[in-house]
Amino acid sequence: MTFADHLVIAPIVLPTVAAGLMLMLDGRSRNALAAINLISTFALLAIAITLAATAASGEPGTAIRTYRLGDWPAQFGIVLVSDRLSSLMLVLTATLACAALVFSLARWHGVGPYFHPFFQFLLMGLNGAFLTGDVFNLFVFFEVLLAASYGLALYGSGYARVRAGLHYIAINLVASLIFLIGASLIYGSAGTLNMADLAVRVAELGPRDRALLEAGASILGVVFLVKAAMWPLGFWLPGTYAAAGAPVAALFAIMTKVGIYAVLRLGSILTGPETEGSVMFGAGWLTAGGAATIVFAMLGLLASQELGKLAGYAVVISSGTLLAVIGAGDPALVGPALFYLVSSTLAISAFFLLIELVERGRTRVDDVLAVTLEAYGLEGEEEPGEDGDSGIAVPAILAVLGVAFVLCGVLLAGLPPLSGFVAKFAILAAAIGRGEAGVSPDAWLLLVVLLLSGFVTLFAVVRGGMRSFWGPIEREVPHVRIVELAPIAALLFLCVVLTVKAEPAMRFMQATAADLRGSKAYSGAVLAEPVPPPAPPREGGSR
Amino acid sequence: MELVVALAIGVLAGSGIWLLLRPRTFQVIIGLSLVSYAVNLFIFGMGRLRVGAPPVLNPDTPDVSAYADPTPQALVLTAIVIGFAMTALFLVVILAARGLTRTDHVDGREGGS
């Protein structure tokens, strides 16, 4: 094994070590903790990019790297698998983490004692969940990331956070128990929990075991959909995200995508050309559920008065869109869906960071006042003409924030010219262009829901922006530091890069989707017999 | 024996879910514990119920069919540890919520809505 082979486990080991180190330092020197966190997070980004580059270099269906812990054969031990999808998610996680961390250095990391260790543990759990090739191991990493997320969701304390956190924790604990039921049903019917082994055995199961396995997989699916906040299961999300601190919420933007990732991964394992007949069972449910999620989120967007809630519902819209698109069950749609995943996650993350800065200038009272003003139609009655020499000098910082706000809105709503538009256009083009015999009902549903959600998002963001930037209320210019603006700018810049380089990016996503089309390559790569190390040269021959 | 175990799982899960849906935090946490017992038994059952069969291999009896399946037992152990830790963590949050909201209602305030 070379050094490069061990790189697969580095995204798990590095945050663990960093977090352990921080716990030993005991929070006495906050700067030291921040330094460790910075080094670790940026190193994670570098590692993730290296892994992605290796994965991207191979042909579709190859370039899957596995790492056997303790070198046990894959069926018996735990394997880590780094393919295109995993490494893509790793890069996305690390990018968000870098942005959130840099942002937090200005103010947030000083609010409580354990921000940095929690941050690293969350990264460890996320990376592990993306890398692991074992269902039960996935459960363990889910628990790690959830435990860290409980800490982060409550970070900063306060009435609103504790109240939202209580619901969040209770729901996720129940979801974990359901996960266990699903995983054990799968073990009971297929006799394995290794994903690659599972893919092989699914084809050989008898009808009775098949029914049990499908029940188990559906129960697991419910858990993933709770994480992804599908409609009847996602009421916890907007409140929790709005209550969490800005950098925390920005990092949480990836957590719903863990659910999406798991649905994609398990879906690809249980289908594939060799196991025709159990084609991502319940795919129709996914489309319907995704569409319902989008409708629910649209209503939420229209009803929400706070920007935080608005961003929370934007997360739900993003998940709903992904679920609806994936559920359509067409491999051609998965590539654009992944592009949308990346673009929307970056935009939402930037939006969470941004609204904290925008809201900084206003107080609670202002908010209430704004609502009442609007409700009673008092806005029009502002006495006009008082400042006849119109033109209050807009402070530069407000202008910068405003431009960033507009960009976020354009990205979230999917307007041209940014990457949100490219993603939605690609999805719709694939959905409409696939059938020879006209456009299918599924595609119509997608078309209507996607366009409508874009319109509603635009409407809600514009309304929120008008209220924050043009409101008649006296407001202070928020004090913003460059460390806080830089991450937002970087995230938005990445979206611009994604737009300009849409073609190579889309090619990568299509290759990723091609990987997911069949499980044969995956299980073949994971279950391959380890190459025995070359026998050590015999000694004592030529003495 | 299958019937007894199945009934036990059902009763535990049923009462656990009932308690989970109650409005007091104490009831919720007891409900979570009950459901987690039910789930642990269920995982155990998924390795097939066998009496008097050891899960650890013994070199003297090479016949594999003489053993119980060890994997679910290992899974149960992991699930117990994780569940215990999470319950403890949840208790802390509940206590914090009790202190902040001055009520043990899950919504942080008394009353219907």
Q: Are A527 and A75 in contact (CB under 8 A)?
A: yes
Find the chain A residues whose C-beta atoms sit closer than 8 A to any C-beta of B.
136, 140, 143, 146-147, 150, 154, 157-159, 162-163, 165-167, 169-170, 173-174, 176-177, 180-181, 183-185, 187-188, 193
Domain-located, residue B58 = no
The pLDDT, as a whole number, for residue A436 is 58
Which of A446-450, A472-476, B40-44 shows the highest mean pLDDT?
B40-44
Separation CA A75–CA A529 (nearest Å)? 11
The pLDDT, as a whole number, for residue A158 is 79
Q: Which residues in chain B are closer than 8 Å to A177, comparing Cβ atoms?
A: 32, 35-36, 39, 83
CA-nearest residue to A153 within chain B is: B93
Amino acid A232 reads P
The pLDDT, as a whole number, for residue A472 is 60
Domain-located, residue B60 = no
Q: Which two tokens stand for residue A484?
A: 């806080």
pLDDT, mean of residues A511-526? 79
Domain-located, residue A331 = yes
Separation CA A184–CA A314 (nearest Å)? 34
Q: What residue spans of A414-440 are helical by DSSP H?
A: 419-432
The pLDDT, as a whole number, for residue A390 is 45
The pLDDT, as a whole number, for residue A438 is 64
In angstroms, the Cα distances linking A449 to A286, A418, A424, A445, A453 are 14, 20, 11, 6, 6
Q: B19, B46, B104: which to substitute to probe chain A, counting the most A Cβ within 10 Å?
A: B46
Q: What residue spans of A132-158 are helical by DSSP H?
A: 135-153
Domain-located, residue A379 = no
Q: Which two tokens stand for residue A297?
A: 């989120």
Mean pLDDT score of chain A, rounded to an integer? 82
Q: Are A454 and A421 in contact (CB under 8 A)?
A: no
Domain-located, residue B111 = no
Would the pLDDT of A284 be above 80?
no
Amino acid A307 reads L
Q: Are B45 and B9 in contact (CB under 8 A)?
A: yes
CA-nearest residue to A136 within chain B is: B75
Look at residue A79 and give its three-state secondary structure.
Answer: strand
Q: Which two tokens stand for residue B64?
A: 């594999």
Number of structural domains, chain B?
Answer: 1
pLDDT, one tens digit per residue, over A65-111 is: 888 888 888 888 889 998 889 999 999 999 999 999 999 988 787 77
The pLDDT, as a whole number, for residue A100 is 93
Amino acid A161 reads R
Of the ranges A168-172, A310-314, A343-347, A444-448, which one carries the lowest mean pLDDT score? Answer: A444-448
Query: Which is nearest to A298 in space by CA: A281, A306, A310?
Result: A310
Q: Are A182 and A220 in contact (CB under 8 A)?
A: yes
Q: Are A475 and A362 in contact (CB under 8 A)?
A: yes
Q: What is the ipTM of this complex?
A: 0.93
Grade residue A541 by pLDDT with cuts at 50, 70 and 90: very low
Q: Do A184 and B36 touch (CB under 8 A)?
A: no
Mean pLDDT score of chain B, rounded to an integer? 88
Domain-located, residue A459 = yes
pLDDT, mean of residues B69-75? 88
CA–CA min distance B108, chain A (Å): 6
Domain-located, residue A497 = yes
Q: Do A154 and B96 touch (CB under 8 A)?
A: yes
Separation CA A202–CA A322 (nearest Å)? 26
Cis bond upstream, residue A417 (ω within 30)? yes
User: Which residue segment(s) compose the domain that A424 sits in?
Assistant: 3-362+393-527
The pLDDT, as a whole number, for residue A388 is 42
Query: Which is nearest to A359 in space by CA: A261, A180, A484, A223?
Result: A484
pLDDT, one tens digit per residue, over A249-272 is: 999 999 999 999 998 888 888 775
The pLDDT, as a whole number, for residue A186 is 92
Separation CA A372–CA A368 (nearest Å)? 6
Would the pLDDT of A232 be above 90?
no
Q: Which residues in chain B are closer than 8 Å to A198, comparing Cβ atoms?
A: none
Global pTM reads: 0.88
Of the ranges A108-117, A187-196, B84-93, which one carries the lowest mean pLDDT score? Answer: A108-117
pLDDT, one tens digit per residue, over A356-410 is: 888 876 654 444 445 544 555 444 444 444 444 444 556 778 888 888 898 998 8
Domain-located, residue B61 = no
Burial code (b: 16+ CB inside 10 Å, e: under 16) for A383-419 equals eeeeeeeeeeeeeeebeebbebbebbbbbbbbbeebb
pLDDT, one tens digit per residue, over B9-55 is: 999 999 999 999 998 999 999 999 999 999 999 998 888 888 888 88
Question: Percent of chain A scored above 70 by pLDDT?
Answer: 84
CA–CA min distance B1, chain A (Å): 18
User: Which residue segment(s) compose the domain that B27 sits in?
Assistant: 2-51+67-101
Number of structural domains, chain A?
Answer: 1
Can you give B26-85 as a three-state secondary structure string?
A: HHHHHHHHHHHHHHHHHHHHHCCCCCCCCCCCCCCCCCHHHCCCHHHHHHHHHHHHHHHH
The pLDDT, as a whole number, for residue B98 is 87
Domain-located, residue A382 = no
Query: Which is nearest to A450 in space by CA: A339, A351, A322?
Result: A322
pLDDT, one tens digit per residue, over A299-318 is: 998 888 888 888 999 999 99
Q: Who wins on pLDDT, A538 or A510?
A: A510
Burial code (b: 16+ CB inside 10 Å, e: under 16) for A185-202 equals bbbbbbbbbbbbbbbbbb
pLDDT, mean of residues A334-352? 92
Please name the residues in contact with B30: beta carbons below 8 A apart, sequence gap of 6 or more. Answer: B19
Q: Which two tokens stand for residue B10?
A: 């059902």
Of the ranges A57-61, A219-223, A503-507, A516-520, which one carries the lowest mean pLDDT score? Answer: A57-61
Of the ranges A154-168, A282-296, A457-471, A515-529, which one carries the lowest mean pLDDT score? Answer: A515-529
Query: Which is nearest to A522 in space by CA: A192, A82, A12?
Result: A82
Would the pLDDT of A280 be above 70?
no
Domain-located, residue A533 = no
When CB atoms are compared, the residue of B46, B90, B100 closest to A187 is B46
